[in-house]
Amino acid sequence: MITTILSGLLPILFCACLGWIGGRLNLFGPRATTTLSSFVVTFALPLALFLAAAHARPEQLTDAAYAASLAAGLLGTYFLGILLGRFVFRHDLRASVLEGLSCGFPNMAYCGPPVLIAAVGAQGLLAVIVGNLIVTVIMLPLTMVILQLAAPAAVGNNDSEIQLVERSLVGALKQSLVWLPVLGAGLAIGGVHLPDLIDQSVEQIGQAAGGAALFTLGLMLAQNPVRLGRDVLANIGIKNIVQPALLLAAALAFRLESTLAKEVFLVGVMPSATAASVLAQRYGAYAQEAAATTAVSTLFSIISISLGLVIAASL
């Protein structure tokens, strides 16, 4: 079990520590986090998610009960985080939606494979594929729309509310983080296979997403040390405790067979994804809290993953 946990968490901690060391040694300029965040959000992460979606088998994307179970847990904690930020902590809409993303988006791509394979075998990767599609087709586009909608109005802009919504939707749909994963899912469902040359070319940038995002997280933590405020503690409670419980309840409610229920449940014990921190840095809102949430959630997941594997074994 220790090897399984370390194989999921050690690469995350290693890359983030390198970024933290670089930040503490002042090896990068003050705009380094903004530049790296733009690279991850505009190029690396969208292309990584595009490939993950495009490589999925059509039948993996059409199991309604399985997808609904994952959607209920992931989106449930996402909206819970938004409501918490908006009505309990009184954040503005941009900070609230980024708090929701910190609570609802688990680090499936980097922590998921070793844990799920150890628990249920190679078929456990299905949860990573479907879970990431739910995030990229629903959660991230909705986040981008809200971030666009809640952006500060330009001076002299007298658009009506309808025009504002339309402009926000168009602005969100133009983001590569929204349309590229959707395009990948469409290709997979349509049975379209990417030529090897295109696949290999895109993969070169996509593979940089994880390391670059984690390195950026380390830089952010070097500039803004972790502070365990009420936001961070609440986020950890929702992400590492409430989310796996909600996913398990959804799997049981949809009567998934044992192996599928284990997969759905174990998605929730993963730490918060770095995407929330990178987006927060990119949009200049909730950056310190999101970075702290990712860091502390990763450390706490040593406990949540251990307990999750024990619980999964009894299902």
Span between the terminal Cα atoms of the chain, in Å: 17
Query: How many CB atoms are located within 10 Å of the residue 57 CB?
Result: 12
Beta carbons of 261 and 65 less than 8 angstroms apart: no
**H-helix segments, the chain:** 2-24, 32-39, 45-54, 64-83, 93-104, 108-120, 125-134, 140-149, 161-173, 176-189, 196-206, 208-223, 230-237, 243-253, 258-267, 274-283, 287-313
Give the bridge partners for 272, in sequence order: 106
* 171, part of any domain: no
Domain around 106: 2-151+176-313
Measured between alpha carbons, how far is residue 131 from residues 84, 107, 109, 125, 206 in Å? Answer: 23, 10, 9, 10, 18
* 170, part of any domain: no
Please list, residue by residue across 85-104, b when 16 or more beta carbons sit within 10 angstroms of its beta carbon and e when fewer do: bbeeeebebbbbbbbbbbbb
- Number of domains the chain is built from: 1
pLDDT tens, residue order, the chain (315 aa): 677 677 767 787 888 899 999 999 999 887 888 888 888 878 887 888 788 778 877 876 778 999 999 999 999 999 999 999 999 999 999 999 999 999 999 988 777 777 887 788 867 777 888 888 888 788 988 898 888 888 765 444 555 556 666 665 676 677 787 788 888 888 988 889 899 998 999 888 888 887 888 888 788 888 877 888 899 999 999 999 999 999 999 999 999 999 999 999 999 999 898 888 888 988 889 999 999 999 899 889 888 888 988 898 888
Q: Can you read off the two tokens belonging to residue 24?
A: 């503490």
Long-range Cβ contact pairs of 299-302 (< 8 A, separation 24 or more): 300/236, 300/240, 300/271, 301/9, 301/111, 301/240, 301/269, 301/270, 301/271, 302/5, 302/9
Q: Can you read off the two tokens belonging to residue 99?
A: 């708090």
* 296, part of any domain: yes
Beta carbons of 261 and 277 less than 8 angstroms apart: no
* 159, part of any domain: no
Cα–Cα distance measured from residue 81 to residue 63, given in angstroms and rounded to the nearest whole number: 27
Query: How many CB atoms are located within 10 Å of the residue 69 CB?
Result: 30
* 241, part of any domain: yes
* 261, part of any domain: yes
CATH at residue 289: 1.20.1530.20
Closest to 8 (Cα-Cα) out of 315, 308, 220? 308
Give the per-residue pLDDT at 178: 76
* 211, part of any domain: yes
Q: Can you read off the two tokens belonging to residue 200?
A: 């290999």
* 39, part of any domain: yes
